[in-house]
Structure 1
Amino acid sequence: MDIAGYSASVFIGISLGLIGGGGSILTVPVLVYLFNLDAVLATAYSLFIVGSTSIVGSFSYFKKGLVSIKTAIVFGIPSIAAIFLTREYILTAIPQDVFTVGSYTITKDILLMLLFAALMIAASYSMIKKDNGGTNDEALQKPSFDYLQILLQGIFIGVITGLIGAGGGFLIIPALVNLLKLPIKTAIGTSLLIISINSLMGFLFSLPHTSVQWGLLLVIASIAIIGILIGSYLSTKIKATKLKPAFGWFVLVMGIYIIIKETITK
């Protein structure tokens, strides 16, 4: 399983480089199903892997002028505060056995994975549906800044990042594209910067409660970094209008798979 896990780690980076998100969507299942880590530990490891990989990926977008620093800052501040509160208080307060239905017990690990899958499916809808006008990289359109809306989105994404170890790209990109009207490739670059800040801060907040296997973690992160360099290159060869729905279908399929894995096949 380790060989399969290391091979899958490449696609964590490719996903981040190509579509600015989805890294955590792959990372958590890879850590849980291929490296046999429990879900809580996997969420902490995911934060480090996705965060360090996203930093590398954001550089190429930054050099192309495809990062909105202002958006990243306004998003990032409330997100970091929400991540700290979630990792420190909410996650630790969830009992190991949440509730039992007949002979089936919903454990903390299963609950986190099901929450993860439900959010993936919900986020996929906004990415798959067709735009009436569409927003693309060629559109010289200024972002629409609603500070209250960005603040609330930042808090929500921070809670999700802290709770399930997701960098939030599958939630950040729909917010940047649909709410702030950023072109898709600018949204990808900005998403990578936000993900890197949120994820690494979340990992730091997790360290007091986590026993880290640094060897395993650094190897997976290094492989994922190779993947993001590949993904960033591929993103220059693919039209922006094709990235958004492809991302949505990918998220939907992974969400359905996790639900089946955690319920029917348990």
Structure 2
Amino acid sequence: MESFLTAPALGIFVGVLMGLTGAGGGILSVPLLIFAFHMPIAEAGPIALSAIALAASVGALIGLKEKVLRYKAAIFMASFGLILSPLGLWVGQHAPNTPLLILFSAVLIYVATRMYIQASQTLAGTTPPMMKPPPCQLDMSIGKLIWTVPCARALMFAGATAGFLSGLLGVGGGFIIVPSLKNFTDLPMKAIVATSLGVLAIVSAGGATISLASGTLNMSIAGPFAIGALIGLLFGKILEKNISGPRVQQIFSIFTFLVALSLIYKCLF
């Protein structure tokens, strides 16, 4: 009975963050599941991926309808993510739980610190100027990215890295995709969030499918959690229009940092 109450509540929280940031919800899914259900990271990861896949798919469709999703870039990045995701899943299933938790905590601290600094710079109007044009630039006349070899190489690396970490740690990879799209493209933030959700949808669906086929996906928790995440994402997309993005990122980064410290304490004590 507990899973039918706790799982959707956690899912709603994760979904709201995904709708607001395009990245935040996925990376918090695993630690929240670990704390709530006392499960190892290898079991929490597939559950998180199933929720990310469902919620991100709907978010990506909303972005496609609003014509802000760069679907070619999303498919290109996700294709390399799908190649590396099974390797990450295999490593995650065979690695000891404690080192994985410490690695996950380190990733959380990195993401939280980077996001807080960037959000603070944006709010203060002190964002450092871009020294040179990004490798992927938007052709304003047709509203599409101009594809070059440096552009393809940058997106390929980001997609592959996100895919491996998605399988290894059960995260969607949005914390890799969003900063990468910020650095490598000149897309507006709405397009970055939508494109990130498109990549997450494809990569997470691949990882969740593999986990389901191998029997490592706990559907009694994954189902309610995924439905809650979907509801939360739709609510988050509504809030997105009325809430300052940088302020949300600051709050999220502080919360993420505290979660990381809690995971480290759990490992050591």
TM-score band, normalised by the shorter chain? 0.7 to 0.9
Identity between Structure 1 and Structure 2 (%): 27
Which AA in structure 2 matches 1:155?
A
* Cα distance between partner residues in 2 of 1:177 and 1:43: 26
Corresponding position of 1:119: 107
**Are 1:44 and 2:37 matched, yes or no?**
no
Aligned partner of residue 212 in structure 2, secondary structure? helix
Corresponding position of 2:92: 91
What TM-score does the superposition give when structure 1 sets the normalisation length? 0.82
**Which digits, 9 at most, give the CA deviation of each residue in 1:40-75, with x for residues without a partner?**
011111111111111122222222222111220221
Query: Of 233, 236, 247, which residue of structure 2 is paired with 1:231?
Result: 236
Corresponding position of 1:56: 58
What TM-score does the superposition give when structure 2 sets the normalisation length? 0.81
Report how many residues are paired.
244
C-alpha contact (below 8 Å) 2:208/2:217 kept by paired residues: no
Query: Of 18, 21, 27, which residue of structure 1 is paired with 2:20?
Result: 18
Q: 1:211 to 1:81 in 2, by over 3 A?
A: closer
Moved more, 73-82 or 117-126: 117-126
Following superposition of structure 1 onto structure 2, how do residues 131-142 of structure 1 map, counting pairs within 5 Å?
A: 131-133=127-129, 142=138
Q: 1:248 to 1:174 in 2, by over 3 A?
A: farther
Gaps of 5+ in 2: 122-126, 131-136, 139-144
Corresponding position of 2:189: 184
Following superposition of structure 1 onto structure 2, how do residues 1-266 of structure 1 map, counting pairs within 5 Å?
A: 2=3, 3-88=5-90, 90-94=91-95, 108-129=96-117, 130=121, 131-133=127-129, 142=138, 146-263=151-268, 266=269
C-alpha contact (below 8 Å) 1:123/1:174 kept by paired residues: no
* Cα distance between partner residues in 1 of 2:220 and 2:36: 16
Which AA in structure 2 matches 1:91?
G
Corresponding position of 1:137: none
Gaps of 5+ in 1: 95-107, 135-140
**Which digits, 9 at most, give the CA deviation of each residue in 1:234-266, with x for residues without a partner?**
011124454554544443333333223322xx2
Moved more, 9-18 or 251-260: 251-260
Which AA in structure 2 matches 1:190?
T
